């Protein structure tokens, strides 16, 4: 079985909310002594979405940039996949809202969501590449947008100051110079409680008691537990991924990781040869954008010219679940 | 481009909650005169989930039946996709919770969600068939489970008494006698407001005002508008689907539809030759199970021996979005 898939990136786009929250603001929000959020968590600043900067609106801005760079008329798309950490609303799916915002509400273009929390983009990308390989689609738009600030509990610094808001979009085409050499995605549901938002779905309901609902409406994370659950599985996971790509880690030129936390990024850099220099790290200024981190960093890497033709690159991350996922790409 | 995909169904499973709500109960809940819910909406009864019958728990029951029929050990699965209308909780994805319930929490088996509201299963099925065609996966489990009763507003009979709760699971394998001949999925985001639950995602937040949050926490539907938006597009959509399969509608032997409403089912039956006899219709006793309707009806049709070898079948439905979707299958 080969997972080699050819593709092109026709355009990328990103959006960051207007409002900037500084590390000192987080010190106040969390009640920590001034300077602690910067020192302990590696935070310089984050962007925070205002009420008009909704998930689908931010996704639209990123998508318009990606489509403009591609030079594609929106109606030429074959499929729009939304790959967010959390949806804008439970019904309908976020991709539908983005389709409408792009003026495609009468187009019939297929629009649906794929959700694997912070690795949603990786899964959407994989399913798009399958569609390309089977000649089902020629042009695909993947949008990711997340508003972590909608559900943060600042009384718990560790599970709040890590996160920022933002959006990214990647316009993918079936013909192009890039080849995904390998893809691995492993889920370990034993860690499902390490990272969660419980209220907002079918289980906890406001009608059953508003206090209980509100108590579980914010993001809860067991940071050390999550780090243990993913880091102990990381070596075997990387081995599997590199082996599937038939390369060694020293051949990787550019590492595009999910921006889980400073600790996770430092762990990744130490785990791979030359990791310090090769890893795209915007954690200090952008933070963990949930599902948006990976496409945001991919867009940034492309705009900065970090994806040299023929060079080997890695996309890699962890997500609530817990899952570990990655892809090796020859750019 | 061919969308022909070979597959097998190794097992199916369904689950219905213990509690049965009768049409007369709905008369009381909605304040309608006795007999009206049965007469006007075609409701005999629905099943309603108790607090212990959560989305992932019901999915587990259906999945265990499907795996038992298949004779598969759960660890032999390559992928678990959850295709629900609404997730159990925003983070992590529902597939992860089902994976853990199946005792696979340490397995690493890939688990993620696909969401297109009532057509989530159709999309998950399509992406699984792509994975089969590319030899990425050999055994896939798709689970759907929905608890519509979590968010119904009984002051609006039309958008509440249609719905029931339940779960279904389909164990799919890459080798098998069936061939999907065609797949069409069309989204028209202009209709995004016709069918919605607004609270529970990133846009409406309890912290911004609990009253507004609660006002938008139930399912809202413009029934006539939705019927118009989908029925006017239905002829062209069916033509496209049948043309892609290179068959005529009179060749269809078994029609497995989403159970949107009695009106929608009657419209479908009238639209297709022999539709009255060929259509699987459990609306009176099961109701609209959101994303679970299609796999539930598929499981039922298979258990009843309605999928005759070599016969042509149709899976078809509409969803919030609005989307129209369908597949033609040679069983």
Read off the pLDDT of residues B38-90 as tens digits, 9 standing for 90 and up. Answer: 999 999 999 999 999 999 999 999 999 999 999 999 999 999 999 999 999 99
CB-closest option in A134, A200, A201 to B133? A134
Q: Do B120 and B83 form a contact (C-beta atoms < 8 A)? A: yes
Alpha-carbon distance of A313 to A292, in angstroms, equals 19
CB-closest option in B116, B130, B206 to A131? B130
Q: How close B300 gets to chain A, by Cα (Å)?
A: 25
Query: Which residue is associated with the tokens 């340490």?
Result: B106
Asked if B135's CB is within 8 angstroms of A92's CB, the reply is: no
Asked if A106's CB is within 8 angstroms of B192's CB, the reply is: no
Q: How close A304 gets to chain B, by Cα (Å)?
A: 31
Q: Say how many C-beta atoms besides its own lie within 10 A of residue B162's C-beta.
A: 25
Q: What is the separation of C-alpha B45 from the centre of its chain, rounded to a whole number of angstroms?
A: 18
- In A285-306, which positions are buried (b, 16+ CB within 10 angstroms) versus exposed (e)? ebbbbbbbbbbbbbbbbbeeeb
Alpha-carbon distance of B246 to B160, in angstroms, equals 39
SS3 string, A190-211, reads HHHHHEEECECCCCECHHHCHH
Q: How close A178 gets to chain B, by Cα (Å)?
A: 19
pLDDT of residue B1: 60
Alpha-carbon distance of A108 to B267, in angstroms, equals 21
Residues of B in contact with A164 (CB under 8 A): none
Alpha-carbon distance of A287 to A121, in angstroms, equals 17
pLDDT of residue B2: 78
Q: Say how many C-beta atoms besides its own lie within 10 A of residue A100's C-beta.
A: 24
CB-closest option in B3, B91, B97 to A189? B97
Residues of B in contact with A85 (CB under 8 A): 91
Residues of B in contact with A193 (CB under 8 A): none
Asked if B189's CB is within 8 angstroms of A96's CB, the reply is: yes
What single-letter DSSP state applies at residue B272? S
Asked if B87's CB is within 8 angstroms of A201's CB, the reply is: yes
Q: How close A104 gets to chain B, by Cα (Å)?
A: 7
Please name which of A244, A240, A237 lies closest in space to residue A5, comparing C-alpha atoms. A244
Q: Say how many C-beta atoms besides its own lie within 10 A of residue B41's C-beta.
A: 22
pLDDT of residue B76: 98
Pairing between β-strand B195-196 and β-strand B165-187 as defined by DSSP bridges: unpaired
Asked if B115's CB is within 8 angstroms of A114's CB, the reply is: yes
pLDDT of residue B207: 85
Q: How close B107 gets to chain A, by Cα (Å)?
A: 6
pLDDT of residue B82: 98
pLDDT of residue A1: 60
Residues of B in contact with A188 (CB under 8 A): 105-108
Residues of B in contact with A197 (CB under 8 A): 89-91
Alpha-carbon distance of A220 to A159, in angstroms, equals 6
Asked if A136's CB is within 8 angstroms of B3's CB, the reply is: yes
What are the residues facing B20 on neighbouring strands? Answer: B47
Alpha-carbon distance of B74 to B92, in angstroms, equals 21
Token representation of residue A16: 């960051």
Q: Which CATH class is domain B5-176?
A: alpha beta
Q: Do A182 and A5 form a contact (C-beta atoms < 8 A)? A: no
pLDDT of residue A207: 85
CB-closest option in A127, A133, A319 to B127? A127
Q: Do A66 and A23 form a contact (C-beta atoms < 8 A)? A: no
Task: Enumerate residue ranges in chain B where pLDDT < 50.
Answer: none
pLDDT of residue A3: 85
**Range(s) of chain A covered by CATH 3.40.47.10:** 5-176, 182-330
Task: Enumerate residue ranges in chain A where pLDDT < 70.
Answer: 1
Residues of A in contact with B191 (CB under 8 A): 105
Residues of A in contact with B205 (CB under 8 A): 150-151, 217
Q: Which CATH class is domain A182-330?
A: alpha beta
Nearest CA in chain B to A1: B135
Asked if A114's CB is within 8 angstroms of B55's CB, the reply is: no
Residues of B in contact with A80 (CB under 8 A): 187
pLDDT of residue A2: 78
Token representation of residue A294: 């990976």
**Whole-prediction pTM:** 0.98
Q: Do B276 and B35 form a contact (C-beta atoms < 8 A)? A: no
- Probe site for chain A from B90, B143, B154, B180 (most A CB atoms < 10 A): B90
Taking the CA atoms of chain B, what radius of gyration do you get in angstroms?
19
Q: Do B45 and B285 form a contact (C-beta atoms < 8 A)? A: yes
- Probe site for chain A from B48, B91, B205 (most A CB atoms < 10 A): B91
Please name which of B95, B67, B76, B74 lies closest in space to residue B137, comparing C-alpha atoms. B76
């Amino acid at each position: 079985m080969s997972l080699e898939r050819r593709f092109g990136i026709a355009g990328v786009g990103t959006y960051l909310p207007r409002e900037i929250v500084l590390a000192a603001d987080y010190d106040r929000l969390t009640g920590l002594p001034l300077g602690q959020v910067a020192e302990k968590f590696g935070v310089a600043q984050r962007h925070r979405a205002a009420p008009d900067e909704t998930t689908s609106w931010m996704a639209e801005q990123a998508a318009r940039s990606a489509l403009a760079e591609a030079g594609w008329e929106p109606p030429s798309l074959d499929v729009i996949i939304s790959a967010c950490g959390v949806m804008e609303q439970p019904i309908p799916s976020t991709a539908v809202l983005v389709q409408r915002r792009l003026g495609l509400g009468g187009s019939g273009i297929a629009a649906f969501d794929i959700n694997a929390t912070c690795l949603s983009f990786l899964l959407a990308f994989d399913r798009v590449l399958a569609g390309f390989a089977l000649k089902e689609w020629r042009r695909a738009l993947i949008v990711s947008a997340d508003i972590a600030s909608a559900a943060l509990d600042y009384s718990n610094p560790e599970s709040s100051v890590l996160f920022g808001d933002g959006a990214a979009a990647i316009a993918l085409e079936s013909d192009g110079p890039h080849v995904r050499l390998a893809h691995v995605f492993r889920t370990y549901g034993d860690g499902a409680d390490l990272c969660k938002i419980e209220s907002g779905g079918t289980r906890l309901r406001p009608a059953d008691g508003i206090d209980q609902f509100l108590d579980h409406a914010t993001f809860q994370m067991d940071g050390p537990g999550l780090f243990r659950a993913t880091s102990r599985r990381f070596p075997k996971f990387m081995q599997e991924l590199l082996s599937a790509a038939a390369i060694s880690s020293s051949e990787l030129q550019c590492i595009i990781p999910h921006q889980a936390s400073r600790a996770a990024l430092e762990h990744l850099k130490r785990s791979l040869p030359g990791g310090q220099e090769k890893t795209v790290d915007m954690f200090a200024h952008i933070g963990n954008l949930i599902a948006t981190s990976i496409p945001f960093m991919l867009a940034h890497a492309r705009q900065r010219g970090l994806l040299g033709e023929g060079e080997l690159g890695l996309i890699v991350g962890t997500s609530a679940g817990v899952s570990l996922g990655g892809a090796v790409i020859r750019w």
